[in-house]
Structure 1
Amino acid sequence: MPVNCHPRLLAVGITYRDLVISGITELPALGEERYGTDFVATWGGVANTARIAASLGARVQLLTGLGEDPTSQMCRRELADWGIDLAPSPIHPGWALPVTMSQACGTERAMTTVETALPAPFRAPNLEGIDAIVTHISVPAEAWLHEAADAGIPVIADHGFEEGCEPGVLEAVSGCTCYTPNAAEAMRLTGTDDPVRAARALAEHVPIVVVTCGGDGIVGVDSRTGEEVHVPAVAIDPVNTTGAGDATLAGLAWSWDWPVPLARKLDVAALVGAIVTSRAHGTADPLTPDDLLAWVPRDRQRLGFLAELLG
């Protein structure tokens, strides 16, 4: 069964300069100093999704904010080296790329960010030939994203809010094709105490809902077909969870048009997120289809379909 391993994806959202220390056995308290085992300076936010999707083989265009600062210039050079097309990305004079310091400890992480709001919303780029849009959606959402979904271009949206639910999130994602919150976000947004019930509630507003549940796997609900699935997590020893959700999103977008059931697409997403999480440098390192195939012997019953599609 042939599949398209080179879809044309448009990634939309904010890029961060991520400075990540991993291998910390316990996060430091105020006044404490802890030691990690590894450090990487990389590009976070939507750039995580763009890089992982590109390394898997997708042809990626990136619509993100860039400034005239040295960090923005370095970002443009390095992402171009990954084969990512930054032509849609505007340059905002006087604005600087946000920076995040992340400390990764097992399945947990602590982050500190310096960020100034983007001076202007993202304008609609040329969508001709785009197979899917993957976005860290803003609130309110850009109208052209909802128009693209209405026109039949899949729009796969994420919007992290961690501590509190930003007013307008549900309205922003409701015009998209797919919404991918984590379990805590989904439950806060719906007022439920269970990720499955949260996914069902959200599916009343968004055609497809994919709720990532960390070590408990991924829940998917497709309200168009009535399909409801819960795939387990891929067993790994977590090293660096920074950007794991972004990588999972990349795996989902990369396999979006494959002629396989939703559960198989979620297996791909779970595997991509797990492999990235098991690496000290996380999303900073490329991830290829061969890396996915190397996992097939570990669980042929679950992942054997990858050998048929990619082998």
Structure 2
Amino acid sequence: MPVNRHPRLLAVGITYRDLVISGIEELPALGEERYGTDVVATWGGIANTARIAASLGARVQLLTGLGEDPNSQACRRELTDWGIDLAPTPIHPGWALPVTMSQACGTERAMTTVETPLPTPFPAPNLDGIDAIVSHISVPAEAWLHDAAHAGIPVIVDHGFEEGCESGLLDAVSGCTCYTPNAAEAMRLTGSDDPVRAARTLAEHVPVVIVTCGGDGIIGVDSRTSEEVHVPAVAIEPVNTTGAGDATLAGLAWTWQWQVPLARKLDIAALVGAVVTSRARGTADPLTPEDLLAWVPRDPERLGCLTEVLS
């Protein structure tokens, strides 16, 4: 079946300088010292999604914030080396790239961030030729994102929160094509105690809702086609979960326009997130189509479509 393996994606959101320690058997309490097995310095946030999508073959433009600090300068060099087009990204004099320290322990991680908000909102970019937009959405959402969705450009968004729902979030995502919360976020936002019911409720506001449920897989509800699917997780031994959601988002955006059932797109997105999670360096290293094809023999019934579309 013909598919566009090289879609033009615009990734939008904040980039972080991530310092990630993995292989920790137990997260430390205050006053304790624990030892990990690996440490990696990489670029997190939306840069995770941009890098993984680019390594899978997408042609990626990145609209993020960069300053004039050493981290911002290094970020520009390294992302450009990955083939990512940073032309849409403005420079903010006096602003520094946020930094996150992450400690990964099995399926959990603990993070500490130093961040100053961007001094100005993201400018409206040139969307000529863009096949899809993938964004860590802000609240309120940039008006041009909703305009793009209304004009027919798929806008796929997520928005993380830890302890509560940000006021206005539902309005922000409702103007988009697809919203991808995790199960906890979806249930908090809808007041539901079940991720399937939460997905159905959110699909009354957003055309497509994809709820990631960790080891319980991914739930997808497409109100446009009445598709409702629940695909299982890909069985792996988690090593570094930092950026796993961003990688799953990249897999979803990469396959968005493929003429395959929603379940197959979610299978591939789940595989992308799982492979990244199973590696000590996580999203810091490329993930190629050949890496995905290597998993097909493990579950040919579920993943066999990859051989057909990528060969």
| TM-score higher than 0.5 | yes
In structure 2, what is the equivalent of residue 255 of structure 1? 255
1:166 corresponds in structure 2 to 166
Distance apart, 1:164 and its partner CA? 1.1
Work out whether 1:127 is the aligned partner of 2:127.
yes
Identify the residue that residue 224 of structure 1 maps to in structure 2.
224
- Cα distance in 1 for residues equivalent to 2:298 and 2:225: 31
Give the drift of 1:163.
Answer: 1.5
Tell me the CA shift for residue 2 of structure 1: 1.6
Q: Secondary structure at the match of 1:171?
A: helix
Report matched runs for 1:1-311 at 5 Å: 1-311=1-311
Equivalent-residue separation in structure 1 for 2:36 and 2:13 (angstroms): 30
- Report the Cα offset of residue 304 of structure 1: 0.7
Q: How many aligned positions are there?
A: 311
Name the aligned partner's letter for residue 154 of structure 2.
P
1:36 alignment partner AA: G
Larger displacement relative to structure 2 (156-165 or 132-141): 156-165
Which runs of no fewer than 5 residues in structure 2 stay unpaired?
Answer: none
TM-score when normalising by structure 1: 1.00
**Aligned-residue offset at 1:88:** 0.2
Tell me, in whole angstroms, the C-alpha distance in 2 between the residues paired with 1:94 and 1:221: 43
Q: Supply the RMSD in Å over aligned alpha carbons.
A: 0.4
Identical amino acids, percent of aligned pairs: 87
Instruction: Give the Cα separation in 1 of the matches to 2:2 and 2:35.
Output: 47
Cα distance, 1:7 vs structure 2: 0.2
* Cα deviation 1:154-207 (Å, max 9, x = unaligned): 000000012111001000000000000000000000000000000000000000
Distance 2:192 2:39 in 1: 38
- Partners of 1:284 and 1:26 in 2: how far apart? 23
**Aligned partner letter, 1:114:** V
Partners of 1:99 and 1:248 in 2: how far apart?
22
SS in 1 for 2:279: coil
**Which residue type is aligned with residue 70 of structure 2?**
P
Deviation per CA, 1:120-141, whole angstroms, max 9, x where unpaired?
0011110000000000000000
| Alpha-carbon distance between aligned partners in 1 of 2:259 and 2:100, rounded to the nearest angstrom | 38
Q: Distance in 1 between matches of 2:141 and 2:301?
A: 40
Q: Which moved more, 1:161-170 or 1:142-151?
A: 161-170
Unpaired segments of 5 or more residues in structure 1?
Answer: none
**Runs in 1 of length 4+ with deviation above 3 angstroms?**
none
Question: 2:136 & 2:290 partners in 1: Cα distance?
Answer: 27
Amino acid corresponding to residue 279 of structure 2 in structure 1: R
Using the alignment, how far apart are the partners of 1:151 and 1:268 within structure 2? 27
CA distance, structure 2, for counterparts of residue 58 and residue 300 of structure 1 = 24
TM-score by length of 2: 1.00
SS in 2 for 1:286: coil
Report the secondary structure of 2:166's partner residue: coil
1:162, 1:180 → 2: CA distance?
Answer: 15
Matched letter for residue 247 of structure 1:
A
Which secondary structure state, in structure 2, belongs to the residue aligned with residue 165 of structure 1?
coil
AA aligned to 1:181 is P
Q: Which amino acid aligns with 2:44?
A: G
CA drift at 1:37: 0.3
Secondary structure at the residue paired with 1:239? coil
Q: Distance in 2 between matches of 1:208 and 1:53?
A: 20
Once residues 163 and 98 of structure 2 are traced to their aligned partners in structure 1, the CA distance between those partners, rounded to angstroms, is 20
Distance across 1 between alignment mates of 2:269 and 2:163: 24
- Write the letter of the residue equivalent to 1:208: V
Instruction: State how far apart, in whole Å, the 2-side matches of 1:267 and 1:302 are.
Output: 7
Displacement of 1:56: 0.1
